Structure 1
Amino acid sequence: MTGFFLHPNSKEEIIDSYDEDIIVTNHAGFIVKASQISGRHYGLKAKELLGKSVYDLEKKGIFSPAITPLVLEQKKKVVAIQTTPSGGKALITGMPFFNELGEVEFVLSYSYEVEELLVIQEYMKELENEMALAKEELSLLRKEHLMIEGLTIENRSTRIAYETARNAAALDVSVVLYGEPGTGKSTMAKVIHNESVRKNGPFIEVDCETLPEAMFERELFGGEFEQKETGLLTLSNGGTLYLKGIDKLSLHLQGKLAHVLKERKYIPFHGETALPLNIRLISSSESLLTTAVSEKAFHSDLYYLLHIVPIHLKPLRERKEDLSALISNYLTQFSTDYKTVKNLSNDVFNQLIRLDWPGNVDELKNVIERLVVQSNTPIITANDLPPEYRNETEDDFSVIHLGGRTLPSILEDVEMKVLKDAQERYRTTTEMAKFLGISQPSVVRKLKKYIETE
């Protein structure tokens, strides 16, 4: 703000400020200065306020209440809510300026519409959320760095699962991983192993569903330690045994495994000498073991031995932040692998984000690799999508249905679609604002507008 001086012989003038609503009155209540936007709350121009008495304006219902009389009376800073002629609300602050005699010579007031303050409040909430998110991520980064292929931590539920896994890893307790196929259970099992005191020991993974029951017992217990036929329990000695799909084990084998875990020793197949059990057991299941126990489909003794730390991994369709990051990661990975540079068009990215991905990470990885390999242009378009992944009925901006609608109505629909697409692609409103080329408060305000009207 320039050209703003408070002295007794000030002339009426418009202050050179375009961003703040500022009004200055003298001790008699006459407006002697006003900024460029002053009067907008009251349906007047700034020059129409100059020389007017705030007492007269208050009588006319333009200032309700006038802030100057309150400041003159109390001789201190005063904050009040004004009602504007249009029925709106404005938060107004009045500050006294004293002369040499200690009397109030001028009153400077500035105001904001309450709706603007609500937008600022939303903005501050968003900043607080982003700061909390940053603190969580910083907490993870401060810990020992872990590099495991396929691990993506963007979604809050994934961060919680990962933090639970890291805490459990140090305690050397049994862990059960829950999740649909392809949600990263095997990857999480490796995280736990690599973060544990057993990280220098073996990591043995066994798929309980694909290994026939007749072979499983022999594979598990093996022969005598000195013989060639060594079982999985022996191979895992000092390390981790990961039983994938433990809910697929027969009740007979569940009982045997429960006995071994209780005794902390086992007798190898066809052996006589008991060997000490020195393994960390991690298991996984697609369905809840609590349900299987209640249905008598899972051994209760084994359940209580395994179910010390349960960790739930959500499917990709419920982890849009992880999905977005994985799309970008796999696109970069396969572009590098095949010595090319490929990017997704916005419509393809939005289509991929909206899919359910029943095969989760494995399915996504396959599709991205196919797109990189089969696309003949640097930009992957909707025509490059495999037929089963296309959505022919999806609306796009190339077709706008008029139907007698006004231009503002059509533009609002377009704006809403753009905002929702950006919301799905970017984690924060700050990133959205950068992408859309508007301010962050504008993004918050527009999102609030369209969310409330849905």
Structure 2
Amino acid sequence: MAMICCCFLCIETIKRLYAVVYTVMRNGIFVLLKNFKCDQRIIMDRANSFKTSILDMFPSITVGAAILDHGGRILSRNVAFSEKLGLQRKKHLVEEFPFLKRNFKEITIHGRQSIQWIKEKNVLLCLSPLELPEDKNRVFCLLFDQVSEDISHMKTMEMKELIMQLDVIIDAISEGVWVCDGKGNVLRVNPVSAALNDINAPDVVGRNMKDLESEGYFNECASLETIRTKKTVTRLVLLRRTNTMVIATAKPFFDEKGSLKMVVGTERDISKLEELHHFLRQQALLQDSLKEHINELKTLNRLSHNIIAKSESMIRILNQVARVSHVESTVLILGESGVGKTAIADLIHKNSGRSGKPFFSINCSSIPETLLESELFGYEKGAFTGARGTGKTGLIEMADGGTLFLDEIAELSLASQSKLLKFLDEGTFFRIGSTKKQEVDVRIIAATNKDLQDLVGKGAFRLDLYYRLNVISIHIPPLRERHACIISLIKHYINRFSSSMKVRRIISPDALEILTTYNYPGNVRELINICERIVVMTKREYVMPSDLPRQVLKSVQTENVDFCDLIQGETLPEFMARIESRVLVKTKARYGSQEKMADALGVTQPTINRKMKKYGL
């Protein structure tokens, strides 16, 4: 972009003006010719009015003046023009100064003035369209040589400004910066580099890098290697004064002739990078931890649709299930009869990578010892008296690729335990009556309601099999120890059976209190049976205490234990949940509305509402 305010006047007009004012903006340089005392538009209008008379006045014009065509051929000129440009015999301005072609193109296409500084001649060339009576395609040219001092001054000011900006930029860089000339003499050191090297910048500026290296400032200087090879060099450098290891990079810069003009080196403290890497590793670990936690929550939410878990102990179990589902380890599930060991085993299978493969379950206590081996491993035809003519495929073979759940594993005989152990160790087995080894991929989940360690001590269970099964153990507490689950379980199964039987049954507060007080020796299995009995045998919509099974009423009536007593194995949060839920049941039965319950208990209605939702009331 260029903009100039200039005057193309005859000599008489120039003498009447105090000065010529113009502004030049080219390559970041601004030039101002001062002392105009009239409007630019007026001057240009006056200048244009005098253009036609300039031809007659060339000899008397003190500045260089010429008339050219649009191609740059000189048609008429005065002596000053020829002398200032050294064109005594040459008749084409553009051929002498090819860069003026752009200026003439601007005049031809846009019909506006143009200006160009001719550095080697130290003159300012002003070009303007000229319309003569006989030919309108002319260009009027004036030369000014009195502006060099102004331009030099402005250049100096501009250079100072640029140098100041460069200083600010270099000092603000977070890495160390060394600048030296093509011979290795230090030109500049920024504060970061001065701190890394424990030096004062003025002490090293002007000195040669070779001397600094020999004096022990650093070893294997990258800048010296760049001066030698004329290539960019990056290397690890030990700054001896501070014993700091840095990554030093030196890059060469050449002049237009290809000579090495300058080398700019940077230093980056490796310890800062290690701190950054450590921070990034910590962030990555935190991110992984958060992802794992989110996945656990998602898995827990998915599992909770299949298993009702309101107590802390059951939530812990679901977290264990989520972890063991994604590995191939053998799992041993411990707990009383009816606590849901089969449901947990099925949940592990469904959330594992084997979910699309078979899941088989066998109760080892329900099959006679003589038949158990054939059920597990199968047999060939004619293997024994009464065997099928086609033979039989065992459960282990049928579960290939999937999961086999061995319930009541403690009931296996020692002989069957030995064969099971061999299968677990080798993954192979023989059908009864066969000599062909079978190889399958089956995950084993075992369960028992007995103390296997006690059985091992009595010699009724193999120690090596116990260790082979007990890779991961999950203990399911009895229902009486997870009281927070009882209300939700009751409501779930009452609704389930009511829906399947197409009836409507609602548990009254009094009946619900009795059911939550009951000890459930048969655990969840007994609770399910009681709920089914209630739905089937109750004839009215609301279930009253009189509709409950006799053993439940008898147990509650004869129970001689204060409900505030801590149940064995019950945690404090579970104890508090049990007491709180029972208080809510009794209060609801007495007062009915949540507002009255809140007044009676000295809490707010939203608190009552939140806690009743928590316990499924």
TM range (shorter): 0.5 to 0.7
Question: Which of the numbers 507, 530, 534 marks the counterpart of 1:344?
Answer: 507
Residue 208 of structure 1 contacts residue 249 of structure 1 at CA under 8 Å; is this kept in 2? yes
Against the structure 1 CA distance between its residues 138 and 156, is the aligned structure 2 distance closer, same or farther, given a 3 Å change threshold?
farther
Structure 1 residue 437, shift from structure 2 partner: 2.5
Structure 1 residue 137, shift from structure 2 partner: 11
Structure 1 residue 204, shift from structure 2 partner: 0.8
Aligned to 1:159: 315
Residue 518 of structure 2 contacts residue 555 of structure 2 at CA under 8 Å; is this kept in 1? no
Against the structure 1 CA distance between its residues 230 and 273, is the aligned structure 2 distance closer, same or farther, given a 3 Å change threshold?
same
Residue 320 of structure 1 contacts residue 424 of structure 1 at CA under 8 Å; is this kept in 2? no
Aligned to 1:249: 412
Residue 331 of structure 1 contacts residue 342 of structure 1 at CA under 8 Å; is this kept in 2? yes
Q: How does 1:349-364 map to 2 (within 5 A)?
A: 349-364=512-527
Against the structure 1 CA distance between its residues 191 and 393, is the aligned structure 2 distance closer, same or farther, given a 3 Å change threshold?
closer
Q: Secondary structure at the match of 2:393?
A: coil
- Taking only aligned residues, the RMSD between alpha carbons, in angstroms, comes to 3.3
Structure 1 residue 353, shift from structure 2 partner: 0.6
Structure 1 residue 158, shift from structure 2 partner: 0.8
Aligned to 1:107: none
Residue 213 of structure 1 contacts residue 250 of structure 1 at CA under 8 Å; is this kept in 2? yes
Separation of aligned partners in 2, 1:155 and 1:290: 28
Structure 1 residue 376, shift from structure 2 partner: 2.4
Against the structure 1 CA distance between its residues 336 and 142, is the aligned structure 2 distance closer, same or farther, given a 3 Å change threshold?
same
Gaps of 5+ in 2: 1-291, 382-389, 559-577, 588-592, 608-617
Q: TM-score scaled by structure 1?
A: 0.57
Larger radius of gyration: 2
Against the structure 1 CA distance between its residues 349 and 293, is the aligned structure 2 distance closer, same or farther, given a 3 Å change threshold?
same
Q: What amino acid sits opposite 1:290 in the alignment?
A: Q
Aligned to 1:437: 598
Separation of aligned partners in 2, 1:434 and 1:220: 61
Against the structure 1 CA distance between its residues 350 and 435, is the aligned structure 2 distance closer, same or farther, given a 3 Å change threshold?
farther
Gaps of 5+ in 1: 1-135, 396-416, 427-431, 445-454
Separation of aligned partners in 2, 1:167 and 1:418: 32
Residue 148 of structure 1 contacts residue 187 of structure 1 at CA under 8 Å; is this kept in 2? no
- For residues 331-360 of structure 1, what are the alpha-carbon distances to aligned partners after superposition, in whole Å with 9 as ceiling and x for unaligned? 111221222222111111111111111111
Q: How does 1:73-88 map to 2 (within 5 A)?
A: none
Q: How does 1:8-23 map to 2 (within 5 A)?
A: none
Against the structure 1 CA distance between its residues 221 and 418, is the aligned structure 2 distance closer, same or farther, given a 3 Å change threshold?
closer
Structure 1 residue 149, shift from structure 2 partner: 8.1
Residue 238 of structure 1 contacts residue 279 of structure 1 at CA under 8 Å; is this kept in 2? yes
Count residues with an aligned counterpart: 283
Question: Which of the numbers 342, 354, 372 marks the counterpart of 1:186?
Answer: 342
Residue 223 of structure 1 contacts residue 229 of structure 1 at CA under 8 Å; is this kept in 2? yes
Residue 433 of structure 1 contacts residue 439 of structure 1 at CA under 8 Å; is this kept in 2? no
Q: What amino acid sits opposite 1:202 in the alignment?
A: P
- 1:173 and 2:329 are equivalent in the alignment: yes
Aligned to 1:213: 369
Q: TM-score scaled by structure 2?
A: 0.42
Question: Which of the numbers 309, 325, 334 marks the counterpart of 2:472?
Answer: 309
- 1:261 and 2:417 are equivalent in the alignment: no
- For residues 402-428 of structure 1, what are the alpha-carbon distances to aligned partners after superposition, in whole Å with 9 as ceiling and x for unaligned? xxxxxxxxxxxxxxx9967235799xx
Aligned to 1:223: 379
- 1:421 and 2:582 are equivalent in the alignment: yes
Q: How does 1:55-204 map to 2 (within 5 A)?
A: 141-143=297-299, 146=302, 151-204=307-360
Against the structure 1 CA distance between its residues 157 and 419, is the aligned structure 2 distance closer, same or farther, given a 3 Å change threshold?
closer
Residue 183 of structure 1 contacts residue 314 of structure 1 at CA under 8 Å; is this kept in 2? yes
Separation of aligned partners in 2, 1:323 and 1:338: 22
Residue 324 of structure 1 contacts residue 425 of structure 1 at CA under 8 Å; is this kept in 2? no
Residue 345 of structure 1 contacts residue 380 of structure 1 at CA under 8 Å; is this kept in 2? yes
Aligned to 1:367: 530
Against the structure 1 CA distance between its residues 244 and 418, is the aligned structure 2 distance closer, same or farther, given a 3 Å change threshold?
closer
Higher RCO (C-alpha 8 Å, min separation 6): 1
Separation of aligned partners in 1, 2:544 and 2:295: 39
Q: Secondary structure at the match of 2:459?
A: coil
Residue 300 of structure 2 contacts residue 319 of structure 2 at CA under 8 Å; is this kept in 1? no
Separation of aligned partners in 1, 2:336 and 2:470: 18
Q: What amino acid sits opposite 2:329 in the alignment?
A: V
Aligned to 1:328: 491
Q: Secondary structure at the match of 2:332?
A: strand
Separation of aligned partners in 2, 1:316 and 1:231: 35
Against the structure 1 CA distance between its residues 215 and 394, is the aligned structure 2 distance closer, same or farther, given a 3 Å change threshold?
closer
Q: Secondary structure at the match of 2:446?
A: strand
Q: How does 1:3-42 map to 2 (within 5 A)?
A: none
Structure 1 residue 434, shift from structure 2 partner: 7.4
- For residues 376-395 of structure 1, what are the alpha-carbon distances to aligned partners after superposition, in whole Å with 9 as ceiling and x for unaligned? 22211111122222159859
Q: Secondary structure at the match of 2:445?
A: strand
